[in-house]
Amino acid sequence: MMKSFKTYQLIIFYFFSVSLNSQTIAVLDIAPINYDYNNSLKISNYIRKIVKNDMKVDVMDIGEISRILNRDNIDNKWCADEWCSKEIGKLINKNKILTSSIEQNGKVLNIYGMIYDVEKDTVLKKYSYLFFEEDNYLLTEIQIMVYYLFDRDLTPDLKIQHEYINLRSEALLGITEKNNKKNATIRSLLFPGLGHRYLNKKLHSNIFIATQSFFISNTLYNYLQYRLTSNFYNDLKNNYNKSDDSAEIQILRKQLNQEYSSLRSYINRRKIFTNLAISFWIFNIYHTRKNSPSTIQILEEIDKKFSGNSSIEEISRRKIDE
């Protein structure tokens, strides 16, 4: 069954690839939303270059597209939706249309891409990705978007670059810090030390687990001893009430006083360890949140992880004029 499913997937992928490669595709200009128009034109040309060189797909000349659309006073740079892809496809007589958009909000960019089949009136593939722009990350993510739209596997370099960009973006957007604190807090609620273990603070984790285990075990021990002593005390009390022997009564009275003293001792110790366990549990939650890494610390760890990687150094060397 599994083998048949995989075969089916390969067939679908084959026909999708053949469909895209067997005809010319129209790549419209990327739609800029709060983004520099001149840069968007350079990015549009960069997308066409990737489609032609990396995807090995013929690309319709943008000049020809513009001439056809200008006759109807249509500006292709604002097209990033299904309905306009369909209409423009009919006007320029092309079945496959690649449309895209880029939206800027400060240093945050959101790119969107889509391949539309005019004849079938359906979207073949969609892609959307939001990230924090640093050191020309945009060009790398644009390339990754095209690879995804054409169902191509990323190169090893692109995989590493995308992982790096994604980790830094989530950190800079505050997502990583928030998720770390949330997940660590949930684990610290389950048992002291588990939150620290999630944050990879093994020493703190071991200390909190051992200390809390000590408090809980002593609480249980004193409770069990209290129950055993209480049963024994009740038996002594029954014997004391039934006895008519004065000598035995004296002995039982002494034993009762001793067991009562033990009962009070176990009760007090149980209360002390219960309060310690509760207080330490609460302190563990506070300590976990306080020791959750900040965004700066997270970024330092990411840079340390990828330090000296040639794939990462390549990102900053890219130019938007490519």
- Domain contains 195: no
The verdict on 30 and 115 lying in the same domain is yes
Separation CA 249–CA 163 (nearest Å): 81
| Whether pLDDT at 196 is above 90 | yes
Query: If you average pLDDT over every residue of the chain, what do you get?
Result: 87
pLDDT of residue 250: 83
Position 238 scores a pLDDT of 84
| Residue 57 φ/ψ, nearest 5 degrees | -120, 135
Q: Which pLDDT belongs to residue 105?
A: 94
* pLDDT reading at 142 higher than 90: yes
Considering the domain architecture, whether residues 132 and 237 belong to the same structural domain is answered as no
- Is 29 a domain residue? yes
Domain termination residue (choose one: 153, 187, 214):
153
Q: Residue 20 — very low, low, confident or very high, per pLDDT cuts 50/70/90?
A: very low
Among the ranges given (69-78, 210-219, 292-301), the one the predictor scored with the smallest mean pLDDT: 69-78
Cβ 82 vs Cβ 116: under 8 Å: yes
Q: Specify whether 124 is located in the same domain as 267.
A: no
Same-domain check for residues 144 and 215: no
Q: For residue 321, name the pLDDT band (cuts at 50, 70, 90).
A: low
**Whether residue 127 sits in one domain with residue 48:** yes
Within this chain, do residues 34 and 129 fall inside the same structural domain, yes or no? yes
Q: Residue 194 CB: number of other CB atoms within 10 A?
A: 19
The pTM (predicted TM-score) of the whole model is 0.75
Which of 125-139, 148-162, 209-223 bottoms out in mean pLDDT, i.e. has the lowest? 125-139
Whose CA is closest to 109, among 129, 79, 81? 129
pLDDT (mean) for 91-105: 91
- In a shared domain, residues 6 and 137: yes
Residue 223 within a domain: yes
Query: Do 207 and 130 sit in the same domain of this protein?
Result: no
| pLDDT confidence of residue 103 | 95
- Whether residue 176 is contained in a domain is answered as no
From the list 119, 36, 53, the residue with the least C-alpha distance to 85 is 119
User: Into how many domains does the chain fold?
Assistant: 2
- List the CATH number of the domain containing 136: 3.40.50.10610
Nearest to 198 by CA among 280, 289, 279: 289
Is residue 138 assigned to a domain?
Answer: yes
- 216: CB partners within 8 A, 6+ apart: 273, 277
Q: What is the pLDDT of residue 77?
A: 64
pLDDT higher at 208 or 5 = 208
Same domain, 6 and 119: yes
Please tell me whether residues 149 and 206 are part of one structural domain. no
On the question of pLDDT at 88 being above 80, the answer is yes
Asked if residue 298 is part of any domain, the answer here is no
At residue 34, does pLDDT exceed 90?
A: yes
Between 246 and 160, residue with greater pLDDT: 160
Query: Which range among 48-52, 161-165, 235-239 shows the weakest confidence by mean pLDDT?
Result: 235-239
Q: Does residue 11 sit in the same domain as residue 135? A: yes
pLDDT digits (tens, 9 = 90+) for 271-319: 999 999 999 999 999 999 999 999 999 999 999 999 888 888 888 777 6
Residue matched to tokens 């009762």:
256
Q: Which range of residues forms the domain containing residue 148?
A: 2-153
The pLDDT-based confidence of 21 (bands split at 50, 70, 90) is very low
> For residue 262, is it within any domain?
yes
Whether the per-residue pLDDT at 210 is higher than 50: the answer is: yes
Distances (CA, A) of 7 to 12, 20, 105, 302: 9, 20, 43, 39
Is residue 191 assigned to a domain?
no
Amino acid in the structure at residue 159: K
Strand blocks (E) in 106-260? 108-117, 122-132
